[in-house]
Structure 1
Amino acid sequence: MFEGLVKGDKWGSTVGIVAFILVIGGAFGIILKTGAVEAGILSMIKRTKGRESLLIPIIFFLFSLGGAVFGMGEEAIPFAMILVPLLIAMGYDAIVGIMITYVATQIGFATSWMNPFSVAIAQGVAGIPVLSGAGFRIVMWAVFTLVGIGFTWKYASNIKKNPTASVAYESDAFYRNDFKEKDIDVKFNLGHILVLLTILAGTIWVVWGVMENGYYIPEIATQFFVMGLVAGIIGVVFKLNEMGINDIASSFRDGAKDLVGAALVVGMAQGIILVLGGTSSTDGTVLNTILYNTSQMLVGLPTVAAGWVMYVFQSVFNFFVVSGSGQAALTMPLMAPLGDLVGVSRQVSVLAFQLGDGLTNLIVPTSGCLMGVLGVAKLDWGKWAKWQIKFQGVLFALATIFIIIAVVIGY
């Protein structure tokens, strides 16, 4: 447990993600203390009666695009903190909130044509031009995104009609009961508007930083901390929710406290990897033994079958190494030349890697980001997995079709 928590550095798993979760939790603790988010949500509910379903496809598309363009993943955690309560208040559930944030990012991540943390690294290791084959991947991204939007929209419509059918119905009570106690005609004043504008400006700042300057976990955490601090000052000046100067500190502490469980789970997930010997590509570990022996099974298979087995293997291997760049460094040096021997092009080998790596991020409990999002949504992994397995089946079938098409057309 201890080794799992201190693994890595500030740029990634595990200590970086743990710190990221706690800082984000504290920042949003300050923001939520102002009451601006709740006031904004209640005002939006009042104004969008009958049209709130339009938010689902728009937000899903934007997050999927973020996953495809700049590898958005951990960034979904703070957005889930805003959107999960919003959707529950609108009559949906936490699952819809997770689908349009984290799930959308991972669909974009898995089908990207330019993700610097996945496709670019894998193509570089495989020895093919970086960002090549973009046309096929763009079509694949569009299809997966449309299927994801359709699946989410249909599910959301069913939950809207019968909220008790949701596996998250009991855990959603935390947010649902909170909004029942609120007055739908709550006054939405200048202070609330300024806090929400701060969140908007901070969000734009994050997107700009990631896309233009390569900001990652340390910078993003700092951006959200600044956002929370500014919101707290506005809350004190405008006496929002009767805030005083000391409430900035206490609400930061309480916000971080709410996500301590999620942070500990991230460390435990990394601990599982350490028990298996770690992710070094040169040491004699359990993972490397699995990788080598699985590769031997591909020899002698028909080309289409070999390409599909590569995809299945990458999907299973992602349980042990959820880092896209880490999995690429481990598997591609072996899978790419092995593909040459069995007639699978290196482009298809990369395709099998990115689909296997990205899509199973939605269900494997070793993913710190997934566990962080579930912690924010207050949803048990077991309940999430029970629901998500159906969607995994849809994604698996769709990925299989694209792998077969890629092999057949000589991609």
Structure 2
Amino acid sequence: MSTEVKKEKKSRSFRTPDTYVIIFFVVLFAALLTYLVPLGQFDTQEVTFQKADGSEDTRTVPIPESFRIVTNENGNPVKEGVGLFKPFGGVGALNYAFEGLASGSKWGTAVGVVAFILVIGGAFGIILRTGAVEAGILSMIKKTQGKESLIIPILFLLFSAGGAIFGMGEEAIPFAMIVVPIVIAMGYDAITGIMITYVATQIGFATSWQNPFGVAIAQGVSGVPVMSGFWFRFIMWIFFTVVGITYTWIYAKKIKKDLTKSVSYESDAFYREDFKGKEHIDVKFELGHALVLLTILLGVIWVVWGVVKHAYYIPSIASQFFIMGLVAGIIGVIFKLNDMTLNDIATSFRDGAKDLVGAALVVGMANGIILVLGGTNPGEPTVLNTILHSIGNAVGSLPSAVSAWFMYLFQSIFNFFVVSGSGQAALVMPLMAPLADIVGVTRQVAVLAYQLGDGFTNLIVPTSGCLMGVLGVAKLDWGKWAKWQIKFQGILFVLGSVFVIVAALIGFN
């Protein structure tokens, strides 16, 4: 048997499981844990802290020393095993899809993020229907021939700064809708587009000195002055941004030489076919195209202003992009771009949302994992509370620098279950901060372990709505992304470990 046939047979014999399959088995594992791990509960308290802008914020947090295992009338630990099905809106293992999708609020996972993804998809469906983005891409390619690679460091730096300064995350989804087709048209692949948009934002998010949705909340609930530790974090941000740019640039140059080496080669065909042969066409870039692109630019400025100045979040940002899409559609109708009609605005919105339905479903299903474990409320009896307390005790028995590293490891793993940066900070930091006092490291180091563990693993956990939204835009399956990204994840983890250990040894405060 020839080597080629063997390789082909091997590739057919093993296929990376679909994201839905992975989540299904994780749900079953979570259900099994409910039979093995007793319920645990904390008392809670309201913690008020001053934010960097002088305003106050309040969070409900657990009281570490109040933890207790829930017992029955005989004094035995209570284990409430989750059944396969539960009627009347209850949570059973196989209720996870619907209950996950319907849970939460418009301010976050799951229903808020699901709605955000669908509205964003619809809005950009309208924008793309005008043809302005395509015309702009083809025009830019002609003007930048020989200088295409400059787009990588410039965009990576901008998106990383967005993650560091105002916690950019969900906003990367609509930007990916523009950037991914651009880099594919330039001869790169979707992986390159994901790296310079979403990955860059999360590197900035993880190493930020002021991110209002992560490090600022973690510092506030830990009793650490908000915005403190600036220079250490700023140097760390520069270092990891340079690492990300370098890694992406090397990868992109290799892929441009041979696109077939890309794990997204097959899925990229959707965009490649769209641009095939058009690069030699004399593109007619009209006034209507320019007005649509101007609408996008002004819309982005509006979003950034809203987030930075008024802390706009999911509901406001989704509506801003909806307005952006609506205005672009009206411009398309007035200037007859691609022969657009009013009905085309409606159909393109529907088609754009349809393209991201798969990603939206993943967000809900992934949230079902948390519901099976009892939810993230520290004041309610849950399996997750018991796991959280047990790991905290285990970390506290180790030497200081090693304890700091295990905090980082724990945060990296725990992010699979609680992917919200602010939610994880409010749940975990009240436990990790006093634990840091016990093991002899500063609370600032505990915050550092949290932000690195949370931010970096956002790049790979399938429970991240932002990641799944971006992968949906790129039409790339999570399994293929994880297979490619695991190497970069390892590099980030090792370098993050070095920073955490150094911070512990120098008494970073």
Indicate the RMSD between aligned Cα atoms, in angstroms: 1.1
Residue 478 (structure 2) pairs with residue 375 (structure 1): no
Deviation larger for 243-252 or 381-390: 243-252
Q: Distance in 1 between matches of 2:388 and 2:109?
A: 22
Deviation at 1:32, TM superposition (A): 0.8
Q: 2:259 — aligned with what?
A: 163
Alpha-carbon shift at residue 353 of structure 1 (Å): 0.7
CA distance in structure 1 between the aligned counterparts of 2:276 and 2:484, rounded to whole angstroms: 26
Q: Normalising by structure 2, what TM-score?
A: 0.79
Query: 2-side partners of 1:154 and 1:402: how far apart?
Result: 24
Are the aligned partners of 1:43 and 1:184 in contact in 2 as well (CA < 8 Å)?
Answer: no
Name the residue aligned to 1:135: 231
Q: Secondary structure at the match of 2:448?
A: helix
Q: How does 1:138-217 map to 2 (within 5 A)?
A: 138-182=234-278, 184-217=281-314
Q: Work out whether 1:116 is the aligned partner of 2:220.
A: no
Deviation at 1:184, TM superposition (A): 3.1
What residue identity is the alignment partner of 2:475?
K
Structure 2 residue aligned with 1:252, among 337, 340, 349?
349
How far the C-alpha of 1:362 sits from its partner, in A, is 0.3
Partner residue, 1:73: 169
Q: Is 1:51 matched up with 2:124?
A: no
Corresponding position: 1:232 with 2:341: no
- Supply the AA of the counterpart residue of 1:157: K
Aligned to 2:82: none
Q: 1:30 aligns with which of 126, 138, 155?
A: 126
State how far apart, in whole Å, the 1-side matches of 2:423 and 2:394 are.
23
2:172 maps to a residue whose letter is A
Q: Match of 1:264, as an amino acid?
A: L
- In structure 2, the residue matched to 1:7 is 103
Q: Corresponding residue for 2:366?
A: 269
Matched, 1:324 2:421: yes
Contact 1:281 1:329 in 2 (8 A): no
1:16 pairs with 86, 89, 112, which one?
112
* CA offset digits 1:346-373 (Å, max 9, x no partner): 1101111111111100000111111111
Aligned to 2:485: 388
Q: Rg bigger for which structure?
A: 2
Q: Distance in 1 between matches of 2:245 and 2:156?
A: 7
Provide the C-alpha distance between the structure 1 equivalents of 2:496 and 2:240, rounded to a whole number of angstroms.
Answer: 9
Structure 1's unaligned 5+ residue stretches are none
**Could you tell which deviates more after superposition, 5-14 or 347-356?**
5-14
Q: Distance in 2 between matches of 1:153 and 1:306?
A: 35
Contact 1:30/1:231 (8 A) holds in 2? yes
Instruction: Identify the range of structure 1 (185-194 vs 60-69) with the bigger mean alpha-carbon deviation.
Output: 185-194
One-letter amino acid matched to 1:92: Y
CA distance in 1, matches of 2:465, 2:342: 34
Give the deviation of 1:134 after TM superposition.
1.1
Distance 2:142 2:127 in 1: 22
The whole-number CA distance in structure 2 between the counterparts of 1:152 and 1:193 is 30
Partner amino acid for 2:352?
A: G
Report the identity percentage. Answer: 76
Name the counterpart of 2:45.
Answer: none
Of residues 182, 189, 192, the one that matches 1:93 is 189
Post-superposition Cα deviations, 1:206-244, rounded to whole Å, max 9, x if no partner, equal: 111111121111111111111111111111111111111
Conservation of the 8 A alpha-carbon contact between 1:66 and 1:108: yes
Using the TM superposition, name which of 168-177 and 18-27 deviates more. 18-27
TM-score when scaled to structure 1?
0.98
- Distance in 2, matches of 1:14 and 1:162, equals 39
Counterpart residue number, 1:63: 159
Alignment partner of 1:362: what SS?
coil
CA distance in 2: counterparts of 1:287 and 1:104, whole angstroms: 31
Query: Matched residues in 2 for 1:297 and 1:215: separation?
Result: 39
Partner of 2:435, secondary structure, is helix
Residue 406 of structure 2 aligns to which amino acid in structure 1? Answer: V
Distance 1:80 1:344 in 2: 40
Residue-pair matches, total: 411
Does the residue aligned with 1:392 lie in a helix, a strand or coil? helix
Question: Cα offset for 1:339?
Answer: 1.2
Q: 1:331 & 1:208 partners in 2: Cα distance? A: 30
What is the aligned counterpart of 1:218 among 311, 315, 319? 315
Moved more, 104-113 or 249-258: 249-258
1:41 maps to 137
What's the CA shift for 1:58?
0.7
Assess if the C-alpha contact under 8 Å between 1:46 and 1:184 holds in 2: no
The one-letter amino acid paired with 1:97 is: G
| Farther off after superposition, 48-57 or 180-189 | 180-189
**Equivalent residue, structure 1, for 2:395:** 298
Q: Classify the secondary structure of the residue corresponding to 2:353.
A: helix
Equivalent position to 1:107, from 177, 197, 203:
203
Letter in 1 for 2:328: A
Query: Deviation per CA, 1:263-306, whole angstroms, max 9, x where unpaired?
Result: 11111111111112111112232221111111121233221111
Instruction: Give the Cα separation in 1 of the matches to 2:397 and 2:437.
Output: 12
| Gap runs ≥5 in structure 2 | 1-96
How far apart are 1:181 and its partner, in Å?
A: 5.0
Matches within 5 A, 1:333-348: 333-348=430-445
Cα deviation, residue 186, structure 1: 2.2
Between 164-173 and 181-190, report the one with greater CA deviation.
181-190
Task: Tell me which stretches of 4 or more aligned residues in structure 1 moved more than 6 Å.
Answer: none
Cα offset, 1:202, TM superposition: 0.9
Cα distance in 1 for partners of 2:130, 2:469 equals: 24
Take 1:118 and 1:281, find their aligned partners in 2: how far apart are those partners? 19
Q: Which residue is equivalent to 2:386?
A: 289
